[in-house]
Structure 1
Amino acid sequence: MSVYWVSIYREIRDEAKVAAYAALAGPALQAAGGTFVARGLPEQTYEAGETTRTVLIEFASLEVARAAHDSPAYQEALTALDGGAVRDMRIVPGV
Structure 2
Amino acid sequence: MSKAYWVATYRSISNPDAFAAYAKLSGPAITTAGGRILARGMPSQVYEAGLEQRTVLIEFDSVEQAKAAHDSPAYQEAMALLGDGAVRDIRIVEGL
Pairwise CA distance, 1:49: 3.2
The RMSD of aligned alpha carbons is 0.6
Pairwise CA distance, 1:78: 0.2
Q: How far apart, CA to CA, are the structure 1 residues paired with 2:68 and 2:45? A: 33
Residue 79 (structure 2) pairs with residue 78 (structure 1): yes
Percent of aligned pairs with the same amino acid: 60
Give structure 1 regions of 4+ aligned residues with deviation exceeding 4 angstroms: none
Q: Which residue of 2 aligns with 1:8?
A: 9
Aligned residues: 95
- Structure 2 matches for 1:48-59, cutoff 5 A? 48-59=49-60
- Structure 2 matches for 1:1-95, cutoff 5 A? 1-95=2-96
Report the residue type matching 1:44 in the other structure.
Answer: Q
Query: Where does structure 2 lack aligned partners over 5 or more consecutive residues?
Result: none
Aligned to 2:84, the other structure's residue is in SS state coil
Query: Where does structure 1 lack aligned partners over 5 or more consecutive residues?
Result: none
